[in-house]
Amino acid sequence: MARPREFEESAVLDAAMECFWSRGYEATSMRDLVDRTGITGASLYNAFGDKRAIYQRALDRYVEGSVVARLARCEEFPSLDAIVAFFDDIVSRSVEDPARKGCMLVNAALDVAPHDDEFQRVVAEVLMRIEDFFRRCVRKGQEQGAITSSMSADELARHLLGVLLGVRVLARVRPDRTLLEGVVRPAIELLQLGARR
């Protein structure tokens, strides 16, 4: 008869996520995961698999708890307000993080995805979800006259995605509110340029 697990799976995944998020995939060892989660290496392997499998579960947990949750919160606002709220949240989280961990998804794009086709696909799919959120907001705003129609929703959505990635990378080394808001502000002003009020 198998012994019941003596740990809370969600707590272990949260601890593993924090470990990978702060150290990166390559710099995180199984020993680091054992130390951070407080369970044995054998228990980690039995519950989640190898380091790569644990990272996959941790990244999935991050995406659901951070990215998907943020999109859901912002979807409740009117189009332009949703985009502004999205970036306000990103900037605030960036400057309030003393560890400068940045975004685990963007970290994965730089750290893991270039060397792993499956993670490249996972990261790309999440980035497309964010781009789709921007596209929906822009289209709705264009229909309402709150966002410029001088560029297509596709072009503006791609631009906003680029701004987001730039802010997230900058925040790792210069988490300065004035700098980050200065990157976002022109993008928001661009959306409003020539829009009907």
Q: Report if residue 128 sits inside a domain.
A: yes
Q: What's the whole-model pTM score?
A: 0.91
Q: Report if residue 155 sits inside a domain.
A: yes
Q: What is the sign of the dihedral through the CA atoms of 102, 105, 109 and 113?
A: positive
* Arithmetic mean of pLDDT, 147-160: 97
Specify the pLDDT at position 140. 97
Q: Report if residue 181 sits inside a domain.
A: yes
Q: For the stretch 137-151, what's the b/e string if a residue is b when 16 or more beta carbons lie within 10 angstroms of its beta carbon? A: bbbbbbeeebbbbeb
Range of 128's domain?
9-192
Q: Angle at Cα 148 formed by Cα 128 and Cα 90, nearest 5°?
A: 45
Name the domain count of the chain. 1
From 86, 110, 106, 85, select the one nearest 171 (Cα to Cα).
106
Q: Report if residue 66 sits inside a domain.
A: yes
Q: Report if residue 177 sits inside a domain.
A: yes
Q: Report if residue 13 sits inside a domain.
A: yes
* CATH number for position 107: 1.10.357.10
* Arithmetic mean of pLDDT, 94-117: 92
Q: Report if residue 197 sits inside a domain.
A: no
Q: Report if residue 4 sits inside a domain.
A: no
Specify the pLDDT at position 48. 92
Alpha carbon distances (Å) from 101 to 21, 59, 81, 86, 95: 6, 14, 27, 19, 11
